[in-house]
Structure 1
């Protein structure tokens, strides 16, 4: 009897772990790898930062939510992840600087596409604007997704945490509760 009870308990525990592992992650942080940030030679401001219309591409690491709280550097000077055991995937972002571009202190400074590719193969793609303001959530439409996110048809929020000591962006992302099928008919 005890053997059956232990076996049943183990099966329930495994099923619970599998169910949790299959759930879509709705909150996570991103640390930009400053060694993978590239932008065009022109146009640039006198400061050397990209100006309005300058295209760019960059990459970084996805971490569990809260990893970068307090604007902790998530990327080392050589571009490797500061917390390799916590990396959940990679983040790729491309787009154009707008407005005051790299010199912006507030408001929209980027129009971008972001691809979050998780280690398990799941993908989220968003497109929209990005704010230069720290601590202010910006809405980004989810324009494509696969795996656990395939049914998500809504928005996610991006909040700039700040900049690392290597001038890389730290941001946090959240898919609000109930966003799956948000715009489905």
Structure 2
């Protein structure tokens, strides 16, 4: 079991740290577009589409990394008053009612969404018409990574309920 946890955590850590650098490329594309537009009066037609797709990649694919490090938005008004064991029970309930149904739906519908995009070789509406089926494939990949990280989180929560100590 520990091997599975380390494997999933390691995969999501590697993805999160690697894809985090995409923000540098977004910044470079944006700066290049602004300089070309303002200084040379020559806007770059592909800059907006590229930056949107890169941001979509970054935003989606690092979701499991964010879950691993407990950085998603949470409201602790009531939870912080509970014992460690009861906090873990509340988290388990939340994962079962909200998280897993959402990411399973994201996987199913995201897969269909990406498959339709690949089948039609969908392109963006921009002037350059960049392919978007690659970025739409990130949706089911993100869902799969979230499911794996969610399973790891659930395993840790069950262990917390069992032992009374947060891991």
TM-score (norm 2): 0.22
Normalized per residue, the structure richer in strand is: 1
Bigger-Rg structure (1/2): 2
Q: Which TM-score applies when normalising by structure 1?
A: 0.21
- Point out the structure with the larger helix share: 2
* Higher relative contact order (Cα pairs below 8 Å, separated by 6+ residues): 2
